């Protein structure tokens, strides 16, 4: 988590509200450790003066986003309204949620929608039978882009030079024994996925999970997201993913293209 002491990145002072930036980033700090925290803990983690952290917390408490018993501070459910505002306003979610539901119901597996955020992918919608819902891929869940099928499907939009630069700056840490971390090999894999039009990742992001993804393009052919179907390795083979799941994903992505602006 980046520190809260930031400059305005060269922007005019009148275009940058530092206190708002600090307040939003302080909210994010609560996700770095479980449970409530003391003012001293928060000030230390945020690298802020204690008095500054206190003013921000009291402002957030007045807005209903933070609660305190006088000693400990914790987030309230009001924070979830920030995420729900995004989900309600997202064209991608509104257009693709019913599509994900249909695909997931037809294959009896989880289908997910993800977007690229820096070096990570963020899952913003999913559909699936209740019996296979698990806590692993909830809305807002993040994973490194380089080792996920949705990530590789979206990384294929970049040129070789842009992709090489991205991989050079990214943290390519293995999440499982199968994770590919060598930049040259990753470049070759992503290029091959681009050529095929889909990505299949087998146990690289999670040890017992494999998934297949296709990019989602808007009306002008720009890749804006990726959709996937994932499954436990004991339930679905890689062959079944390409023969049974891939056509469904391709049809789903094609069906929404004209609706995405």
CATH number of the domain within which 136 lies: 3.30.450.40
Q: Do the Cβ atoms of 216 and 227 come closer than 8 Å?
A: yes
Residues 197 and 154 reside in one and the same domain:
yes
Is 246 within the bounds of a domain? yes
Integer Cα distance of 155 and 9 in angstroms: 26
Q: Total domain count for the chain?
A: 2
Q: Are residues 40 and 121 in the same domain?
A: no
Residue 199 lies in a domain: yes
- Give 199-258 pLDDT, tens digit per residue: 999 999 999 999 999 999 999 999 999 999 999 999 999 999 999 999 999 999 999 999
> Residue 22 maps to which CATH number?
1.10.10.10
Would you state the structure tokens that stand for residue 51, as one six-digit string? 């008095």
Which domain does 197 fall in, by range? 90-259
SS (H, E, C) 107-128: HCCEEEEEEEECCEEEEEEEEC
Whether residue 8 lies inside any domain: the answer is no
Six token digits for residue 197: 């039009």
With cut-offs at 50, 70 and 90, classify the pLDDT of residue 12: low
E-state strands within the chain = 37-38, 66-68, 72-75, 110-117, 120-127, 142-144, 199-202, 209-217, 223-232
Q: How many CB atoms lie within 10 A of CB 65?
A: 21
pLDDT in the model for residue 10: 52
- State the angle between helix axes of 39-46 and 50-62 in degrees (0 to 180), rounded to the nearest 10: 110
Same domain for 107 and 35? no
Residue among 176, 260, 170, 162 at smallest CA distance from 218: 260
Does position 177 have pLDDT exceeding 80, yes or no? yes
Residue 151: what are its φ and ψ, rounded to 5°?
-65, -45
What confidence score (pLDDT) does residue 134 get?
Answer: 45
- Give the pLDDT score at 16: 82
pLDDT class of 84 with cuts at 50, 70, 90: confident
Res 13: pLDDT? 59
Co-location of 95 and 61 in the same domain: no
Q: Which DSSP symbol is given to 44?
A: H
Same domain for 138 and 191: yes
Residue 74 and residue 197 in one domain:
no
Per-residue pLDDT at 140 exceeds 70: yes
Spatial separation of the C-alpha atoms in residues 150 and 225, rounded to whole Å: 8
In this structure, is residue 250 part of a structural domain? yes
């Amino acid at each position: 988590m980046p520190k809260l002491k930031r400059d305005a990145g060269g922007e005019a002072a009148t275009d940058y509200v530092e206190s708002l930036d600090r307040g939003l980033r302080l909210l994010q700090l609560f996700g770095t450790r479980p449970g409530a925290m003391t003012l001293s803990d928060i000030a230390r983690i945020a690298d802020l003066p204690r008095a500054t952290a206190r003013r921000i917390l009291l402002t957030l408490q007045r807005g209903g986003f933070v609660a305190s018993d006088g000693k400990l501070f914790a987030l309230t459910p009001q924070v979830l309204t920030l995420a729900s505002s995004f989900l309600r306003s997202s064209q991608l979610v509104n257009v693709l949620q019913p599509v994900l539901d249909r695909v997931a119901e037809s294959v009896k597996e989880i289908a997910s929608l993800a977007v690229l955020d820096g070096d990570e992918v963020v899952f913003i919608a999913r559909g699936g039978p209740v019996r296979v819902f698990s806590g692993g891929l909830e809305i807002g869940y993040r994973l490194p882009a380089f080792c996920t099928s949705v990530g590789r499907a979206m990384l294929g939009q970049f040129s070789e030079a842009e992709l090489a630069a991205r991989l050079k700056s990214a943290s390519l840490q293995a999440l499982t024994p199968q994770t590919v971390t060598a930049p040259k090999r990753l470049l070759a894999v992503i290029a091959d996925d681009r050529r095929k039009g889909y990505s299949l990742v087998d146990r690289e992001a999670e040890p017992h999970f494999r998934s297949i993804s296709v990019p989602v393009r808007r009306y002008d052919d720009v890749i804006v997201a990726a959709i996937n179907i994932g499954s436990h390795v004991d339930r679905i083979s890689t062959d079944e993913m390409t023969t049974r799941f891939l056509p469904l994903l391709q049809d789903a992505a094609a069906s929404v293209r004209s609706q995405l602006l």
